Amino acid sequence: MNNPIRAAVRPNAAAPRTNQSQGQQSRDTNRPARDDRARPARDSRDERDNRDARPAKVTRDGRPVREREPRERDGRGAGQGRPAGGSREQRAPREQREQRPAVERSSVPTVVPEGTTFADFGIPTTVVRELSSQGIESPFPIQVASLPDTLKGRDVLGRGRTGSGKTLAFSLPVVTRLSQSDTRRAARRPRALVLCPTRELANQINAVMEPLAKALGLNTTTIFGGVAQSRQVSALNAGVDIVIACPGRLEDLLNQRALSLDGIEITVLDEADHMADLGFLPGVKRIMDKTPTRGQRLLFSATLDNGVDQLVKRYLSNPVSHSVDSAESPVSNMTHHIFAVRDADAKKDVVQQLAGGTGRRVLFTRTKHQAKKLAKQLTAQGIPSVDLHGNLGQGARERNLEAFSNGSVRVLVATDIAARGIHVDEIELVVHVDPPAEHKAYLHRSGRTARAGSEGVVVTVMLPEQRSDVKDLTRKAKITAQPQSVAPGDAAITALVGDVAEYVRPADITPPQTQARRGTPSRNGGSRAARTSAPVKSAGPTAQRAQGGRGQSAQGGEGGAGAQARRRGGRGRAQRGGGSTTVYSSSSY
């Protein structure tokens, strides 16, 4: 309700701001005219939207507005507080405001300029020569984008799907910067640390990094569980430049004071999201807290979920982010098929037919038991196969992976332990015998093929009761393939299989997947089991050079545990005998 008496008592008082929305027009009508001074004309809407064009800021009655100094609020920087009476247009431009150090993002080129070489980034000549000897001449996009920053010592967050070349992207700056450092190797004081989730990945990172380090006079060692620690401790006592480790065993050695991380200059977290999935983040944080804060830190991960973003905020200082394709995005040169089968018997026959081709193929199952069972069934049907899962000792894992890598067997039956970090060249087919529980596992499994620019095929075998789960899985994975009803022998299956491999009598197959025994030493600090039967003959060196992934070669040839395998071309390295007797643990990682 209007109050003309109050207006008459205070003719020159400006209306309180809090009452402007309540009967403003009526009060203006009843207010007496002001004769002592001219009242400025009220701004139109357009004029209010363009107040910054006025020479001075004034209130409606002509009084100047006192400017406030910009203030910081909740760490967001100066200039974000809004001055009283001001508008959004009166804020300082975003580029003029100080911001808290944040991740600087860089777009990664999808095409590397023609003629780009590693020498263009200042990589030492001996390292460039070593890469050339492996058939690696030009860098991948993630390497082109990240090397300028990593070689300068900046913290870097690298994101990209498996097979994009991340291992070489952090290996090159690690060995280059250590070779240029004033510090020297010391007993039990490594100078660089690479953390990764699994033994297989540790071995394969070492296969990439070791020859580069040797070219510069540096050395490396691996530390992980499942093998005795005696040789690992011996290597640390002798002095090592680069440690490639899994969190569990490394923490054990730290608690035993077998090493110190005080001298770490560069720390790399590889497959950080997988470490989070496996529950390793608390241990990773305890390890990172023992490294000097002044050191360089590189984090490589497919995603930033499950707490990986906490690692970035806590341990990386003003990092630069370089991203290739998201891990959740499908690969353009990967073809997907969904085969809907009638029942379990039809599924068994379809899987056998898919496994019968001449090229390498990986079959994924949900459980360790199913992986072991399927490998035995296929071998009994004349399709030599090996299994890879957490129940195998380290020696058995290495032998099985070597048999698959060198072509002694064409089929690897694995659980999700092989879905991350395992690289073997020229895998032409991935079969999801059991569809995974979630879409990220589907993408990582599928990533075993179509690596480093090559093409590949992925098949999901689906039972009727799995239709709903598979539909949800493919939707989240952004896979557009539609289910196709098939039966054993259908043309759709035959077309994918291509040439069928010759039948191999089970009696002629030496199964390398037998559980490791105690006694024969392993290069990585444990023991390699003595073979109870004739060793699998190696198919000889191969010419694969796919630098986007990682590969490894274990002991091969004839003559038992003492024979040394020839190095395979590409990313692999030979495993050597020597060392002490050990007992395998049942740990999976």
Within a domain: 149:
yes
Residue 431 CA to residue 354 CA, distance in Å, equals 8
The total of structural domains in the chain comes to 3
- State the alpha helices, DSSP H only, in 134-221: 141-150, 166-180, 199-215
Within a domain: 346:
yes
* HEC assignment per residue over 106-129: EECCCCCCCCCCHHHHCCCHHHHH
Beta bridge partners of 297: 267
**Phi, psi (deg, nearest 5) at residue 60:** -65, -25
Match 């510090």 to its residue by tokens: 183
Distances (CA, A) of 167 to 164, 205, 422, 455: 9, 7, 12, 21
E-strand ranges in 341-443 read: 360-364, 385-388, 411-414, 427-432
Within a domain: 255:
yes
Secondary structure letter of residue 357 according to DSSP: B
pTM exceeding the 0.75 threshold for the entire prediction: no
What integer pLDDT is reported at residue 13 of this predicted model? Answer: 44
**160 with 306, same domain?**
yes
Of 302, 323, 344, which residue sits at a domain end? 323
Within a domain: 273:
yes
Contacts 24+ apart (CB under 8 A), 53-59: 57/85, 57/86, 57/90, 59/14, 59/85
**236 with 295, same domain?**
yes
**319 with 351, same domain?**
no
**275 with 307, same domain?**
yes
Within a domain: 540:
no
What integer pLDDT is reported at residue 189 of this predicted model? Answer: 97
Tens-place pLDDT, residues 13-41: 444 444 444 444 444 445 544 444 445 45
What integer pLDDT is reported at residue 548 of this predicted model? Answer: 46
Within a domain: 49:
no
The torsion angle over the Cα atoms of residues 336, 340, 346 and 347, rounded to 10 degrees, is 50
CA angle 359, 431, 483 (to 5 degrees): 125
444 within 8 A of 198, measured Cβ to Cβ: no
Residues in the chain predicted with pLDDT less than 70, given as ranges, are: 1-112, 161-163, 325-332, 421, 452-453, 508-589
Match 């005795």 to its residue by tokens: 228
**270 with 355, same domain?**
no
**Phi, psi (deg, nearest 5) at residue 97:** -90, 140
Q: Which domain holds residue 186?
A: 104-323
Pair type for strands 156-159 and 296-301: parallel
Distances (CA, A) of 366 to 51, 349, 372, 417, 436: 66, 18, 11, 10, 7
209 within 8 A of 261, measured Cβ to Cβ: no
Tens-place pLDDT, residues 176-234: 999 999 999 999 999 999 999 999 899 989 999 999 999 999 999 999 998 999 999 99
Residue 35 CA to residue 296 CA, distance in Å, equals 72
Within a domain: 15:
yes
% of residues, the chain, pLDDT over 70 = 65
**Phi, psi (deg, nearest 5) at residue 144:** -60, -40
Torsion sign across C-alpha atoms 69, 75, 80, 83:
negative
Residue 566 CA to residue 520 CA, distance in Å, equals 19
**208 with 266, same domain?**
yes
Of 508, 527, 562, which residue sits at a domain end? 508
**316 with 366, same domain?**
no
* Cross-sheet strand order for the sheet of 483-485: 385-388, 411-414, 360-364, 427-432, 456-462, 334-340, 483-485
What integer pLDDT is reported at residue 106 of this predicted model? Answer: 57
Supply 410's token pair: 């064409």
Within a domain: 75:
no
**298 with 437, same domain?**
no
Residue 116 CA to residue 7 CA, distance in Å, equals 79
**484 with 350, same domain?**
yes
- Helices and strands, counts by H and E, the chain: 18, 17
Q: Which helix (H) or strand (E) holds 269?
A: strand 266-270
Of 454, 489, 508, which residue sits at a domain end? 508
Q: Angle, to 10 degrees, between the axis of helix 308-315 and the axis of helix 281-288?
A: 10
Pair type for strands 527-528 and 520-521: antiparallel
Distances (CA, A) of 132 to 125, 135, 138: 10, 5, 9
Residue 529 CA to residue 518 CA, distance in Å, equals 5
